Amino acid sequence: MAGVIQQKQTSSGVHPLKFALWLIIISIIMMFAAFTSAYIVRKEEGNWLEFDLPDNLLINTVLLVLSSVFMQLAYFVAKKDNINQLKIYLALTLALGVAFLIGQWEAWGDLVSRKIFFGGSDANPSGSFLYVLTGVHGFHLITGLLYVLIVLISAFNFKVHSKKMLRIELCTVYWHFLGGLWVYLYLFLSLNH
Amino acid sequence: MASTDISLHKDVHHEHDAHDEHDHHDQHFIFKYIFSQDHKVIAKQFLITGIIWAFIGGALSSIFRLQLGWPQATLEWLEPLLGKWIEGGKLSPEFYLGLVTMHGTIMVFFVLTAGLSGTFSNFLIPLQIGARDMASGFLNMLSYWFFFISSIILFFSMFLETGPAAAGWTIYPPLSALPQAMPGSGAGMTWWIVAMAFFIVSQLLGGINYITTIINLRTAGMSMTKLPLTIWAFLLTAILGVLSFPVLLSCVLLLIFDRSFGTSFYLSEIYVAGEALSNVGGSPILFQHLFWFLGHPEVYIVILPGFGIVSEIIATNARKPIFGYRAMIGSMLGISLLSFVVWAHHMFVSGMNPFLGSVFMFLTLIIAVPSAVKVFNWIATLWRGNIVFTVPMMFAIGFVSLFISGGLTGIILGNSALDIQVHNTYFVVAHFHLVMGAAAFFGMFAGVYHWFPKMFGRMMDEKLGYVHFWLTFIGVYMVFMPMHYVGIAGFPRRYYSWTSFDLFQSFANINMYISLAAIIAWLAQFIFAFNFVYSIFRGRRASANPWHSNTLEWTTPVLPGHGNWPGAIPAVYRWPYDYSKPGAEDDFIPQTVPYSETQSSNLPHDKD
C-alpha cells in the first residue's frame, strides 16, 4: 500500500497490514455485537412480532460456506503457483458470493410478501432488526466481493503467486470472517425465532 | 531553560544507511503540507484544526453563559454575529439548546478526541517507539481528511435556517429522532449524524493505525516495558476507540432508520405536534445503553492521553524516575477494562432496573482505585524531586490538581442513591468539566508546550506561558467550584432560563460570577493562540533536546524530516525514566545509551 515506509522486520512478527485487518475485523465484530445485544435487550421488553425466517436463508448459508471453501482452495493453489486453478477458484468464490447476495435479496422479497416490513406503521422492531442485520452484513459482503475482485484481477496480471501472497492472504482472512459472521448471524436468528 | 545544546551521544548512530530512501525533500507543496502522509505533518493538521475548534467551542459556551449570567440583559450587540437567533434582544431558546449541544459535541469529540489523541498519538508514537512513520501513512492521511470533512459538515450545520442539532451532545431519542419535535431535530440533526459518521470512520482509521504501529514497528530493544507511558496511554486510548466507536455507529444507524425510514427501534407510543405517531414497540432506553457503551469509554479516550503526557512531563521536570512505572501501566489497563462495564451509571434515573443500578454503582466506585494509584504515583514522583517549573510542568501539575478535584465528586455521583438528587444538575456539569474537560485541556496544553520545540523547532514564550497558565488555572476553578453549590441545590443543567423559579433567584449573583469567570478564562486562551502562532515563526530557536529528556524523539534533529532519523533508527537499551540516577554523569540518561557506557551508575541487574 502507498505510504508504507518499509522497515526490515516488525516487532510482533506479523505484517502490519495483516494486523490492521484483524483490528478492522474486531471493530466490525463490535458493531454486530451491539446489534445482536440490542436485539436481545429489545426482545426481552415484549411487544415483539414472531414470524418464521425466510426458508432460503439456509441455502444462502450453504452458498457462502462453499464460497469460503473455494477461497481457501484458491489460497492453497496460489501457494503452489497454479495460476489457472487460482483464477477458477477465485471466480467461483466471487460467483457464490454474488449468488448469496441475490439470495438475501430474495429473502427480503419473501419477507415483504408476508407483510413483514422494514419501516412504516406496520413494522415491528423484530422485522426491522432482521433487515438491519442482513443489510449491514450485506454491505460488508459487498466490500469483501470488491476485494475478491481485486485479487482476481491481480491473478490475471500474474501478481498473485507463491512469492506474493499478502494480498490473497488478507483477502482469505476477510472472506472467512464475513462467512463466519453470517453463520453466527444465521444461528443467532434461528435460535431467536 | 538551559539553551545550551547538550546533544548527548549524537555520534552514536550517525552512519548513513544506504538502504533508507527518504528523499522527500523535493516534494510538491501540496503533498508536503496538505495531503501529507508524514505523521508529523498530520499531527500538526490535527492540532491546528483542534485549536480552531476549541476556540469555537469556547465562544459558544461564552454566549450561553451570557444568557445564564445576565438573564435580563439585552443581547442586541450580538446581532451582527447571530442574526435572527437574537429575537427582540433575547437569545432564542431554540438556539440556546443548539449552543449547548454544539459546545458538547465540539469539545468532547472534535477537540478532546480528535484534537488531543489525533495530535499526540500521531506525533509521538513513531518518534517515541523509533519508527520511520505510521504503519500506513495513507490511512493516516485519510484519517485526517475524514475528520476534516466531518468538521466542515458540523461547522456548516450551525448556519442552517433551523439551527444546529439541539438535543444535547448525547442526542437522546425521541427528541433527536422526530424532526417535528423541535427545529434542532430537523436538518441540524441530520447533519450532526452525517458528521459523526465521518468522524467515526476517521477515529477507526486512526486508531487501527496507532495500535498496529505500536505493536509492530518498535525499534530494536524497545520492549513493551521500555515504552514511555505516553505510548501505553495512546495504545489503550486507541484500543478503547476501536472497540467503542463501532457501537456508536450501530447506535446512530438505528437512529437514522428511525428518523428517515419509519422504523421503531427507539420510538413507541408518542403524541407530538398534535398527532399520535404510529411507532410502537421501540425503547428509548435501548438507545441510552448503546450510546453510553461508547459514551463511557469515550471519556477515557479523552483523559488517557492526558495521563500519558502528564506522566512523561512530570518525570522529566521533577528529574526523577516515574514512581511505580508498572503500577501506572496496570492502573491504565484497569481503567480501560472498567470503562466498558460502568456505562449504566449515566442512566441511574432513566427508569432502568434499580438492582442493575447497584451493580453499576459497585463497578463505578472501583474506578476510584486505579485513579487513586495514578494520583498517588504522580505526587510521589514530585515528592523531593528537583522540580523545574517549566510551563508544561505547571500545566501537568494543574492537571493532577484538576483530576483530583473533579475525581472526588465522581465518588458522590457514582452513588445511585445520591444521584437521585444531583443528576442533571450543575453538580454533574462541574464534575465532568473538571475531571475530563479542564483536566484533558491541561494535558493538551502541557503536551503542546512540551513538544512544541520538536514540532516547530522553536520554543514557546515562557512568560506568556505562565500568564496563560495562571489565568486558565484560576479561571477554571472560579468557574466550576461555585457550580457544585448551585448543583447541590438542584439547579438543573440545559435550562435556558431559571428566573421564573423562586428557589433559584438567590443564585443570580453566583451565576453572574461563573459567567464572568468563564468569559475571562476563554479570553485568556487568546494569549495561548498568540504565543502559539508567534512562536512558530518568531520563537527562540530550540535545541534538539531542550528539556534534557530521555525518550527517543529527542535524539532526532531539531526539525526531523520525513523518516525521522537521518541515519539508522537508534536502538534502545533502557527504560525512559533514568533521571538523576546515582553515580551518573548527567541527571538524565537517554534510552539510546547502553549500560556498557554507564558503568558508574549501573545497578547490579543493569546489563545489556
Q: Chain A partners of B213 at a C-beta cutoff of 8 Å? A: 16
Burial of B353 per CB tally in 10 Å (0-12, 13-18, 19+): exposed
Residues in chain B: 608
Q: Which residues of B548-579 are buried (b: 16+ CB within 10 A; e: fewer)?
A: bbbbbbbbbebebebbbbeeebbbbbbbbbbb
Q: Chain B partners of A5 at a C-beta cutoff of 8 Å? A: 22, 131-133, 137, 563
Contact B213 A3 (CB under 8 A): no
Q: Chain B partners of A135 at a C-beta cutoff of 8 Å? A: none
Please give the grid coordinates belonging to residue B265: 427501534
Give the CB-side neighbour count of residue B55, counting CA atoms within 13 A: 13
Of B211, B262, B283, the CB nearest to A23: B211
Instruction: Map grid coordinates 516515574 to a residue.
Output: B322
Mutate: best of A1, A6, A7, partner B, most B CBs <10 A: A7
Angle of helix B187-216 versus helix A16-44 axis, rounded to 10: 140
Q: Which residues of B383-420 are buried (b: 16+ CB within 10 A; e: fewer)?
A: eebebeebbbbbbbbbbbbbbbbbbebbeebbbbeebe
Give the CB-side neighbour count of residue B499, counting CA atoms within 13 A: 12
**Residue at B162: amino acid letter:** T
With a pLDDT cut of 70, the percent of chain B lying above it is 96
B514, B479 in Cβ contact below 8 A? yes
Compute CA A168 distance to the chain's CA centroid, rounded to the nearest angstrom: 16
Query: Is the pLDDT reported for residue B70 higher than 80?
Result: yes
Closest Cα to residue B178, out of B85, B284, B292, B288?
B284
Please give the grid coordinates belonging to residue B73: 440583559
A27, B208 in Cβ contact below 8 A? yes
Greatest mean pLDDT among A15-19, B7-11, B288-292 lies in: B288-292
B438, B61 in Cβ contact below 8 A? no
Average pLDDT of B161-185? 92
Contact B246 A28 (CB under 8 A): yes
Reported confidence tier of residue A9, pLDDT bands at 50, 70, 90: low
Give the C-alpha separation, B292 to B342, whole Å: 9
List residues bridging with B276 in a β-sheet.
B271
Eight-state DSSP code of residue B222 = -
Reported confidence tier of residue B280, pLDDT bands at 50, 70, 90: confident
Give the C-alpha separation, A40 to A93, whole Å: 33
Query: Is the pLDDT reported for residue A193 higher than 90?
Result: no
Reported confidence tier of residue B427, pLDDT bands at 50, 70, 90: very high
Reported confidence tier of residue A44, pLDDT bands at 50, 70, 90: confident
Closest Cα to residue B310, out of B433, B443, B405?
B443
* Residue scoring higher pLDDT (B3 or A143): A143
Give the C-alpha separation, B395 to B310, whole Å: 8
A·B CB contacts under 8 A: 141
Reported confidence tier of residue B25, pLDDT bands at 50, 70, 90: low
What is the three-class DSSP state of A50? Answer: coil
Q: Chain A partners of B356 at a C-beta cutoff of 8 Å? A: none
B535, B456 in Cβ contact below 8 A? yes
Contact A38 B290 (CB under 8 A): yes
Give the C-alpha separation, A102 to A117, whole Å: 19
**CA of A82, closest CA in chain B: separation in Å?**
31
Query: Is the pLDDT reported for residue B8 higher than 60?
Result: no
Closest Cα to residue B544, out of B461, B457, B462?
B457
Least confident window among B5-19, B48-62, B172-186: B5-19
Classify domain B30-601 at the CATH topology level.
Answer: Cytochrome C Oxidase; Chain A (1.20.210)
HEC letters along B395-443 = HHHHHHHHHHHHHHHHHHHCCCCHHHHHCCEHHHHHHHHHHHHHHHHHH
Tell me if chain B has a CB within 8 Å of the CB of A166.
Answer: no
Give the C-alpha separation, B418 to B27, whole Å: 60
Give the CB-side neighbour count of residue B513, counting CA atoms within 13 A: 14
Return mean pLDDT, chain A: 91
Least confident window among B52-56, B134-138, B399-403, B524-528: B134-138
Burial of B270 per CB tally in 10 Å (0-12, 13-18, 19+): buried
With a pLDDT cut of 90, the percent of chain B lying above it is 78
Query: Is the pLDDT reported for residue B29 higher than 90?
Result: no
A114 Cβ neighbours under 8 A, 6+ residues apart:
A51
Least confident window among A75-89, B77-91, B445-459: B77-91
Query: Is the pLDDT reported for residue B491 higher than 70?
Result: yes
Give the C-alpha separation, A122 to B282, whole Å: 13
Average pLDDT of A154-175? 93
Cα B129 to Cα B279, B415, B509: the distances in Å are 54, 41, 52
C-alpha distance across the termini of chain A, in Å: 44
Residues 86-125 of A with CB under 8 A from B: 118-121, 123-125
Q: Chain B partners of A119 at a C-beta cutoff of 8 Å? A: 257, 261-263
Average pLDDT of A140-153? 96
Query: Is the pLDDT reported for residue B403 higher than 70?
Result: yes
Q: How many CB atoms are closer than 10 A to CB B257?
A: 22
Closest Cα to residue B367, out of B441, B276, B303, B445?
B303
Chain A residue whose CA is closest to B138? A3
DSSP string computed for B460-529: PPHHHHHHHHHHHHHHHHHHHHHHHHHHHTTPBTT-S--TT-GGGGGGHHHHHHHHHHHHHHHHHHHHHH
Give the C-alpha separation, B63 to A193, whole Å: 53
Of A1, A27, A118, the CB nearest to B242: A27
Of A4, A23, A123, the CB nearest to B262: A123
Mutate: best of B216, B242, B251, B289, partner A, most A CBs <10 A: B216
Reported confidence tier of residue A47, pLDDT bands at 50, 70, 90: confident
Domains of chain A (ranges, CATH numbers): 57-191 (1.20.120.80)
Average pLDDT of B466-489? 96
Give the C-alpha separation, B592 to B565, whole Å: 13
Q: What's the pLDDT score for residue B9?
A: 37
pLDDT in tens, A15-41: 888 999 999 999 999 999 999 999 998
Of A1, A7, A12, the CB nearest to B138: A1
B346, B432 in Cβ contact below 8 A? no
Of B136, B215, B264, the CB nearest to A123: B264
Query: Is the pLDDT reported for residue A51 higher than 50?
Result: yes
Q: What's the pLDDT score for residue A1?
A: 37
Average pLDDT of B78-106? 91
Contact A16 B264 (CB under 8 A): no
Give the C-alpha separation, B123 to B114, whole Å: 13
Please give the grid coordinates belonging to residue B413: 455521583
Contact A38 B286 (CB under 8 A): yes
What is the three-class DSSP state of B27? Answer: coil
Of B264, B283, B569, the CB nearest to A45: B283
Q: What's the pLDDT score for residue B30?
A: 78
Q: Which residues of B501-527 are buried (b: 16+ CB within 10 A; e: fewer)?
A: eeebeebbebbeebbbbbbbbbebbeb
DSSP string computed for B538-558: HSPBP-SSTT---SGGGGS-S
Q: What's the pLDDT score for residue B265?
A: 92
Q: What's the pLDDT score for residue B26?
A: 61
Reported confidence tier of residue B84, pLDDT bands at 50, 70, 90: confident
Backbone φ/ψ region at A158: left (φ over 0), alpha (ψ -120 to 50), beta = left
Query: Is the pLDDT reported for residue A179 higher than 90?
Result: yes
What residue spans of B106-224 are helical by DSSP H? 116-129, 137-157, 187-216
**CA of A134, closest CA in chain B: separation in Å?**
13
Eight-state DSSP code of residue B345 = G
Q: Chain A partners of B22 at a C-beta cutoff of 8 Å? A: 5
Torsions phi, psi of B270, nearest 5?
-115, 140
Contact B135 A17 (CB under 8 A): yes
Contact B282 A125 (CB under 8 A): yes
Contact A34 B131 (CB under 8 A): no
Reported confidence tier of residue B499, pLDDT bands at 50, 70, 90: confident
Query: Is the pLDDT reported for residue B12 higher than 60?
Result: no
